[in-house]
Structure 1
Amino acid sequence: MNVKALLFFCVLLGSMPAMAQKNYNLQSPDKVLQAQITVGDDIQFSLTHDGSEVLAPSSISMTLQDGEVLGAKPKVLKVVKASVDKEILSPFYKKSVVKDEYNEAAISFAGNYSIVFRLYNEGLAYRFVTKKKGDIIVVGEEAEYNFSKDHKTFAAYVNNKAETFEKQYFNSFEQPYVNESITKLNNQRLMILPFLVELDNGKKVCITEADLEEFPGMFLNNSADKPCLKAIHAPYPKIEEQGGHNRLQMLVKERENFIAKTKGTRSFPWRVFTVSADDKELADCDMVYRLASPSKVSDISWIKPGKVAWDWWNDWNLYGVDFRAGINNETYKYYIDFASAHGIEYVILDEGWAVNLQADMLQVIPEINLQELVDYGKAKNVGIILWAGYWAFARDMENVVKHYADMGVKGFKIDFLDRDDQKMVEFVYKAAKVCAENKMLVDFHGVFKPTGLQRTYPNVLNYEGVNGLEQLKWSPESYDMVTYDVTIPYIRMMAGPMDYTQGAMRNASRWNYRPVNSEPMSQGTRCRQLATYVIFESPFNMLCDNPSNYMREKECTEFIVNVPTVWDETVSLDGKVAEYIAMARKYGDDWYVGALTNWEPRELTLDLSFLGEGNYKIELFKDGINADRAACDYKKEVLSVPADRKLNIKMAPGGGYAARIYK
């Protein structure tokens, strides 16, 4: 072979892998987002927004126990593209109808699997789909999300500082955010979803997951060497033992060498990347709701969202009464009377009503007569909700749910799950299903972020998985809840509703806050607490303070109890992550407006053009002139909405603004 021929042959060989590589392009309906899927030796995807990079080429795969790697040396069999434009009815959500418009590419590979990519105007989602016989065991789902620059992030670590990931899997999914670049994050700590990356030109991408069923939740872990985020999943529990908080938890003592055992023919969870050009877009995003499985509850007429008078945060601290306040029937009848007088739908009996350390929900302390309380509440149009420790509920679920449903209890607040491995995810689905079958509501606490279960089982009205107001019962003076409040609407709330448990009537300016467990206070102003009922999505929403305090604050209490908990429309008005937010929500004929700022005083001009024609009044609550010193200082006014629909508002440091607009 001559030199020229040899050179040509070498060039040909070198180009063969590139020739074998296949590229598939997908764009959003508005053509702003562009995804490229590359199939060569592996499967990679990248994403751009209006020509600027969101994700650099990132490889994805799934490894099965038999050694098969879905995504290694892939062979494309076919590609099916589709465009969808429809509407989803969403009865217990931030809007009554969700627009579901996307372009999709389903790429099928040899080996009976496919990957489905969907591109919405708001972002990208992908999921693995398998068509294997029998059951399969998944060793891992691999993903490395790459960036060309070391972007800054808003990241929440697990709140378990143990030295190994194995121990960090046990956590309550409640943490404030750090604002660090990808490589500067602590790669010895797992990070929880949703996770926000700050891109160039003010753009953002928020990473989370949806339709998490029969599979563990996803954590992220960063590289210290390059801007890369790696997916991590808790392995399947092998040995568990009862323990933890009041022996109400199951602690994993040993795990398997795989993450899931599941059906061979199934769709796996969606991996979700929401992209924004303006921060306010993140505060009104429907990606997770859209991607969740449709409702499995045919009759939803019995599901009643609403407000809840809550006992635990205020430590049952009533005053001006002629009985000893505590966990007893007299106290709860007082809560029921308060709820009834103010149109509050529910009263919760939080931890303490069942005999301690027994993990048995059928053992009730002698100071409580549950049937009497249920009957008393029913006569006053107030439903009873029961707190339930995870293992006490899980170990005898069907019997417990039926027993209390027959008694007339309306639902459960299930707490201290503190894991998101496959077994715990399966528990969440089973609890939702069993409660739905018995017409019982569910509020999950000590739980991972929402992934759309509230669409699949609409009786699941709320989730914690948020660093809520309870933290101020014990957190030091240096703690900054105010900045967290203006960060979560763009990150955690993108995943779904959150039981933040607001409503404090003791309010503290920045330098006056201190932790007081039995008479806790909030950080920031009174108007801030009112505004959170508009800003924070929460179909099942607590009034955290005690009835004695609320009855001394008639105007504020009246506003809180009248704010709806589900909405017909939502409009994100203005905002910047970790600085401020302003939103408007409509229910019936009325609009509500809420705004929050960080510790900086702030003036905003809000565009109310969404009101349309007509004359409107606005009943508003604004920070008082001395609210920076005495955080309880506020002023209520009733004014006409300006004809130019420009509303000027002013907020104190740590302040807020809340209003109702009506014709």
Structure 2
Amino acid sequence: MKKAFIILLTLALWTNDALLAKDYDLVSPDGAVKLTIAINDNITYSVLVDGKPIMDASTLSMTVGSGTVLGQNPQVIKENKRSVNQKLYPELRVKSQEIQDNFNELELVFKGRYSVTFRAYNNGVAYRFETSHKKELIVRSERAEINFSGNNNVYFPRESEFFSHNERLYEYNSLDTLSEKDLCSLPTLVESSDKIKLLVTETGLLDYPGMWLTGATGNTLQAVFPQAGLEEKVDHKRWTDDRSIRISKEADYIAKTEGARSFPWRIVCIAKNDADLITNQLTYQLAEPSRIKDPSWIKPGKVAWDWWNYNNIYGVDFEAGVNTDTYKYYIDFASKYGIEYIILDEGWYVLGDVLNIVPEVDVKELMRYGAEKNVGIVLWVTWSSLDQKLQEALDTFKAWGAKGLKVDFMQRDDQWMVNYYERIASECAKRELIVDFHGSYKPSGLRRTYPNVLTREGVKGAENNKWASYITPQHNLTLPFIRMVAGPMDYTPGAMINAQEENFRISWNRPMSMGTRCHQLAMYAIFESPLQMLCDNPSNYLREDESTAFLAQFPTVWDDIKVLEAKIGDYVALARRSGDSWYLGAMTDEKARTIAIDLSFLEGGNYNIEIFQDGVNAERYAQDYKRVVKNITNKDVISASLANGGGWAAIITKK
């Protein structure tokens, strides 16, 4: 009798567990991507592409309160499905004037006042937690595990700690060689054995710390998060007191937040070919919609930058430097070429006090002069100095007539700092100021929520040429496929002094770029940044009038994009449309190559094309180029010959 009772009890418990266990399938609109969510002791998900496994069971959970694990022994009480096929019209059209937003969604509501929403797109999968607690919620940790199927390689942006500018080179490693000691920032790109690319990132990051990744056992990446800070201190070993502020005492949680909220989306973008990475817009599609009611005042454009070139202007009758005469010269230059902005970078105020202007700079006169010449002024500030006088400073900048801010040296993405970004975006929007975040983490959706955030750094860009030799053409050919997928990047192109690797030299005061002149020009078509820098000095641009007049024509936001050829780290060729004109760019790594530019994407009719191509001696003298103007139709295929480290750029206008 006793034995029979035990058997029946065991059978009942097993039956109950079996009833609780269930798989849910979610398929992309085109049927190619299949997401399977398994509910057992934990919540796991796996992914197939065209019937082939690319991700094995990957566990997700969140530990809250005094140790409750959302996702442990889960009990589904409701499921909600929906399919959406709509068009989004970005206020700031970085890649295109409209986005086809097409996905299938499954929301699983669990006992314990939480849910997990999954989405399957044709080009990726995503999920996020949602909670409906009445009181404040303490999040102790979050588990976000990604188990990749088979043998994989990874483009790994290695980090040493959470205190970082997130400016990284991409190490190409076998994924299974990484351990929990190997830390990286996002986005991270994994290449499957059959060459499918899987880019991991996040979006909708608000009131929560940023996600980072480490290796783990096997072909696995797992999420880690910076702890919330209780105390801060200045790191006197790095820079000055206004810019190197670390967390010195950590909390035992990663976030204190509202109990009823949606958490950030965890995304795996899926690309069957490399070109699909460049056109992926999931970080925008999944971000929170705009909170700016009337964005009509937001003006993207190009900006003449002073810091990179060390204000080394010449052929003038005044001493160059951080002074009024020099910046008037920048304004005159910008006005001549129709460049929308100049920036006053470090040096215009006494460090530590953003309202204490150095005597050599008459900011009000520069604002007046810029307005007269139709050139706006962007002001650089360190984040901590701005924060000390935030309301007063922003009101003052607005009263002066400033058009925006470049906020620098945050170097963190703990919860407080993430909230700081949102606070700056919101306060600047109230005063109709655009924002460029430097010393920043990767784009994570804020550009949709506050479209006045035009661009941000978080990229190892051209400024590194001043002190290092690793900004190579090959590095430049990784960025469109990894970092740029997350959002616009303030790489700062436009160098007029160009050199091949063998004659490149490091110079803080007179920097140069590695690769050809046309490699730099092509960046204005290929690299996305609605606030796009011209990094060199006006004297060099005036001396190189032909190149400058050409690049000055390039818009910084686009109506459409066509990727013509693409291979990560090797080459890319694409065309972007603005209005009725097309702007084309092609770049190669250290290998010379010829790329066929097929113009069949054009409508019928006759066109004019203006081409800047590598000169016959560009492999020896990187500044050598040739300008070609001719007539074309959509039946033409142009053979673009690129030197090693070379480029090719063109503008097509209808006749």
TM-score w.r.t. the length of structure 1 is 0.95
Contact kept, 8 Å, 1:596 with 1:656, in 2: the verdict is yes
Aligned pair count reads 650
Matched residue type, 1:205 = L
Contact kept, 8 Å, 1:65 with 1:258, in 2: the verdict is no
Please show how residues 86-165 of structure 1 align to structure 2 within 5 Å: 86-92=86-92, 93-158=94-159, 161=160
Give the alignment partner of residue 221 of structure 2, picking from 229, 234, 241: 229
Give the alignment partner of residue 594 of structure 1, picking from 576, 581, 585: 585
Q: Does 1:566 align with 2:560?
A: no
Question: Paired residue for 2:63?
Answer: 63
Please show how residues 427-506 of structure 1 align to structure 2 within 5 Å: 427-476=420-469, 479-506=470-497
Give, in whole Å, the separation in 1 of the partners of 2:634 and 2:563. Answer: 21
Q: Does 1:247 align with 2:248?
A: no
Distance change >3 Å, CA 609–CA 5, structure 1 → 2: farther
Moved more, 426-435 or 95-104: 95-104
Contact kept, 8 Å, 2:54 with 2:150, in 1: the verdict is no
Question: Paired residue for 1:165?
Answer: none
Report the alpha carbon displacement of residue 5 of structure 1 after superposing the two structures with TM: 12
Question: Paired residue for 1:33?
Answer: 33
Give the alignment partner of residue 175 of structure 2, picking from 182, 191, 202: 182
Give, in whole Å, the separation in 2 of the partners of 1:277 and 1:116. Answer: 25
Distance change >3 Å, CA 17–CA 555, structure 1 → 2: same
Give, in whole Å, the separation in 2 of the partners of 1:613 and 1:201. Answer: 38
Give, in whole Å, the separation in 2 of the partners of 1:518 and 1:397. Answer: 33
Matched residue type, 2:542 = M
Contact kept, 8 Å, 2:605 with 2:633, in 1: the verdict is no
Moved more, 5-14 or 35-44: 5-14
Question: Paired residue for 2:396?
Answer: 403
Question: Paired residue for 1:534?
Answer: 525
Question: Paired residue for 1:616?
Answer: 607
Moved more, 640-649 or 300-309: 640-649
Contact kept, 8 Å, 1:641 with 1:647, in 2: the verdict is no
Matched residue type, 1:349 = L
Give, in whole Å, the separation in 1 of the partners of 2:113 and 2:10. Answer: 35
Give, in whole Å, the separation in 2 of the partners of 1:16 and 1:556. Answer: 73
Give, in whole Å, the separation in 2 of the partners of 1:5 and 1:76. Answer: 29
Contact kept, 8 Å, 2:599 with 2:634, in 1: the verdict is no
Structure 1 residues 432-478: Cα deviation after superposition (integer angstroms, max 9, x where no partner) = 000000011100000000012111111110100000000110004xx
Q: Please give the root-mean-square deviation of Cα atoms over the aligned residues, in Å.
A: 1.8
Report the alpha carbon displacement of residue 414 of structure 1 after superposing the two structures with TM: 0.2
Contact kept, 8 Å, 1:146 with 1:227, in 2: the verdict is yes
Give, in whole Å, the separation in 1 of the partners of 2:7 and 2:127. Answer: 42
Distance change >3 Å, CA 625–CA 116, structure 1 → 2: same
Please show how residues 368-407 of structure 1 align to structure 2 within 5 Å: 368-407=361-400
Structure 1 residues 356-407: Cα deviation after superposition (integer angstroms, max 9, x where no partner) = 3xx2101111111110111111111111110010101122211111111011
Moved more, 578-587 or 83-92: 83-92
Question: Paired residue for 2:280?
Answer: 285
Contact kept, 8 Å, 2:497 with 2:623, in 1: the verdict is yes
Matched residue type, 1:124 = V
Q: Does 1:325 align with 2:320?
A: yes
Matched residue type, 2:224 = I
Give, in whole Å, the separation in 2 of the partners of 1:81 and 1:485. Answer: 42
Contact kept, 8 Å, 2:91 with 2:295, in 1: the verdict is no
Matched residue type, 1:345 = E
Give, in whole Å, the separation in 1 of the partners of 2:77 and 2:9. Answer: 29
Distance change >3 Å, CA 8–CA 648, structure 1 → 2: farther
Q: Does 1:350 align with 2:341?
A: no
Give, in whole Å, the separation in 2 of the partners of 1:660 and 1:466. Answer: 27
Matched residue type, 2:72 = A
Percent sequence identity is 45
| Structure 2: runs of 5+ lacking an equivalent | none
Give, in whole Å, the separation in 1 of the partners of 2:477 and 2:463. Answer: 17
Report the alpha carbon displacement of residue 535 of structure 1 after superposing the two structures with TM: 0.2
Give, in whole Å, the separation in 1 of the partners of 2:107 and 2:234. Answer: 44
Distance change >3 Å, CA 631–CA 72, structure 1 → 2: same
| Structure 1: runs of 5+ lacking an equivalent | 162-167
Give, in whole Å, the separation in 1 of the partners of 2:317 and 2:633. Answer: 50
Contact kept, 8 Å, 2:95 with 2:561, in 1: the verdict is yes
Give, in whole Å, the separation in 1 of the partners of 2:6 and 2:495. Answer: 80
Report the alpha carbon displacement of residue 646 of structure 1 after superposing the two structures with TM: 2.3
Contact kept, 8 Å, 1:150 with 1:226, in 2: the verdict is no
Contact kept, 8 Å, 2:60 with 2:144, in 1: the verdict is yes
Moved more, 7-16 or 394-403: 7-16
Contact kept, 8 Å, 2:304 with 2:535, in 1: the verdict is yes
Report the alpha carbon displacement of residue 12 of structure 1 after superposing the two structures with TM: 8.6
Contact kept, 8 Å, 1:153 with 1:195, in 2: the verdict is yes
Contact kept, 8 Å, 1:510 with 1:524, in 2: the verdict is yes
Query: What is the SS of the residue equivalent to 1:81?
Result: strand
Report the alpha carbon displacement of residue 639 of structure 1 after superposing the two structures with TM: 1.9
Report the alpha carbon displacement of residue 616 of structure 1 after superposing the two structures with TM: 1.6
